Amino acid sequence: MIDFTDIVLVSKKHNFLRIFKLPKHSFIVTCVILFGIIASTVFLSSYNAREIFVAMSARKSECENESLINRLDSLNNLVALTHRDFDRHIEQDNRERTYWQMVFVHPDVWSMGIGGSDAKAPEKALSDRANGILNQLYESLDVLKGKCELRETSLNDIIQKMESKVYLWSHIPSINPVPGRRLGSGFGYRVDPINKKMIKMHWGLDIGAPRGTDILASADGVVSYTGWNRGYGLCLDIDHGFGFKTRYAHCNCILVKKGDFVKRSQVIATIGDTGRTTCPHLHYEVHVSGVKVDPKPYIDLSNVVVD
Ligand SMILES: [Zn+2]
C-alpha cells in the first residue's frame, strides 16, 4: 500500500482550494530538491556578496595606500626643502663665528652622520614603498632635529664669546677723552715745552681745550687715584682691568673719587693747567700691563687688535 501526502493550496483572495496527493517518497524527494536549490542559492548569493565586499575593500585600501604614499612623498619633499633652508643657518653660524674669531663647526658634524640612524621596523599594514618613504622621513627628521640642537648649542657658544668680548671691549680705552678736540703733542721724544733746551720723553698725548672743558673716561673701570701728583698736577687714574690703566693729568677739577666705578664717556674731570704745563690741556696716558704706550691707537678702536 502506497502512503500519500496531501498538499493543500489555499487562496482566500481568489476563493481557491486545491488538494494534491503525492506519494510520500515523491514528496520527500521534492522537499530535498527544493532544499538543495534554496541552500545553493543562499550560498552562492552570500559568496558573491563576500567577493564584492572583498573587492571593494581592496580597492578602497589601494586608494588609501596610494593617497598615503602621495602624502608621504609630499612630506618627504617638504623635509628636504627644510634641510636646504637650514643651510642658510649654517652659513649664518659660520659668519658669526668668523666675526667673533671662533673655529667653524666642521661640515661632517653638521651632517649628523647621514645614513647612520636605525631604520624603524616595517609596518605590516603598509606597502614596501610606504615603509621605505617612512624610514627615509624618520632618518631625515632625526638629522634635522640634530642640526637644530647643534645650532642652538653653537649659538650659545657664540653669545658667550660675544658677551666676553663686549665686556672686554667696554674696558679697553677707545675714545678721545675730550671729544672733538684736536690731538696735540704726541707720545715720544720732543723738545721740553718749558726747558726748551732739553729733549725729553713725552709719555702721553696732549689734547688742548679751554679750562673747564669736560674730560670723559675712555673706558669702563674703577678710579684708582685722585689728587696732586708732582708735575702731573691735579691727576686722576682709572684701572680698567685686563692690564689697562689710563691717566688724566693737569685737571682743573676732579668730579669722581677713588673707588668709584665709572662708565665709558662719563664726565670725570675738567680741563685745567695744574702741574708742569704752559697752557690748559689734558695730558692723557694709557698704560698696558704697567708699560706706558702711545694712547693714539687707543682712540680709534679699529686700530687695536683684540683677542
Ligand atoms: Zn703731556
Three-class SS of the chain = CCCEEEEEEEECCCCEEEEEEEEHHHHHHHHHHHHHHHHHHHHHHHHHHHHHHHHHHHHHHHHHHHHHHHHHHHHHHHHHHHHHHHHHHHHHHHHHHHHCCCCCCCHHHHCCCCCCCCCCCCCCCCCHHHHHHHHHHHHHHHHHHHHHHHHHHHHHHHHHHHHHHHHHHHCCCCCCCCCCCCECCCCEEEECCCCCCCEEEECCEEEECCCCCEEECCCCEEEEEEEECHHHCEEEEEEEECCEEEEEECEEEECCCCCCEECCCCEEEEEECCCCCCCCEEEEEEEECCEEECCHHHCCHHHCCCC
Instruction: State mean pLDDT over 111-126.
Output: 66
Confidence of residue 247 (pLDDT cuts 50, 70, 90): very high
Ligand 1 midpoint to CA 232 (Å): 9
Ligand 1 midpoint to CA 203 (Å): 7
Ligand 1 midpoint to CA 305 (Å): 26
Same-domain status, 28 and 90: no
pTM of the entire predicted model: 0.62
Boundary-marking domain end, from 47, 69, 91: 69
Same-domain status, 65 and 79: no
pLDDT at 288 over 80: yes
Same-domain status, 298 and 195: yes
Ligand 1 midpoint to CA 306 (Å): 27
Ligand 1 midpoint to CA 221 (Å): 22
Let me know if residue 86 belongs to a domain.
yes
Let me know if residue 178 belongs to a domain.
no
Let me know if residue 62 belongs to a domain.
yes
Let me know if residue 298 belongs to a domain.
yes
Same-domain status, 8 and 44: yes
Instruction: State mean pLDDT over 108-117.
Output: 71
Instruction: State mean pLDDT over 225-247.
Output: 96
pLDDT in tens, 4-39: 778 888 888 888 888 878 788 887 888 889 898 999
For residue 158, the model assigns a pLDDT of 94
Let me know if residue 177 belongs to a domain.
no
Same-domain status, 24 and 94: no
Report the domain count for the chain.
3
Ligand 1 midpoint to CA 298 (Å): 16
Ligand 1 midpoint to CA 285 (Å): 8
For residue 307, the model assigns a pLDDT of 42
Ligand 1 midpoint to CA 121 (Å): 81
Ligand 1 midpoint to CA 157 (Å): 43
Same-domain status, 268 and 227: yes
Confidence of residue 114 (pLDDT cuts 50, 70, 90): low
Ligand 1 midpoint to CA 241 (Å): 24
For residue 120, the model assigns a pLDDT of 66
Same-domain status, 79 and 62: no
Let me know if residue 196 belongs to a domain.
yes
Same-domain status, 223 and 126: no
Let me know if residue 181 belongs to a domain.
no
Boundary-marking domain end, from 19, 42, 69: 69
For residue 259, the model assigns a pLDDT of 97
Other residues' Cβ atoms within 10 Å of the Cβ of residue 171: 19
Same-domain status, 62 and 129: no
Same-domain status, 55 and 160: no
Ligand 1 midpoint to CA 229 (Å): 14
Q: Which residues surround ligand 1, an ion (CB under 5 A)?
A: 204, 206, 283
pLDDT at 2 over 60: yes
Same-domain status, 201 and 293: yes
Ligand 1 midpoint to CA 283 (Å): 4
Ligand 1 midpoint to CA 36 (Å): 129
> Looking at 15-19, 102-106, 212-216, which range is the least confident one?
15-19
- Structural domain boundaries enclosing 92: 75-170
> Looking at 6-20, 191-205, 216-230, 241-255, which range is the least confident one?
6-20
Let me know if residue 105 belongs to a domain.
yes
pLDDT at 159 over 90: yes
**Is the model more confident about 117 or about 193?**
193
**Is the model more confident about 26 or about 253?**
253
User: Whole-number mean pLDDT of the chain?
Assistant: 88
Ligand 1 midpoint to CA 175 (Å): 17
For residue 301, the model assigns a pLDDT of 53
Cα–Cα distance for residue pair 114/55, rounded to 1 Å: 42
Ligand 1 midpoint to CA 250 (Å): 9
Same-domain status, 278 and 256: yes
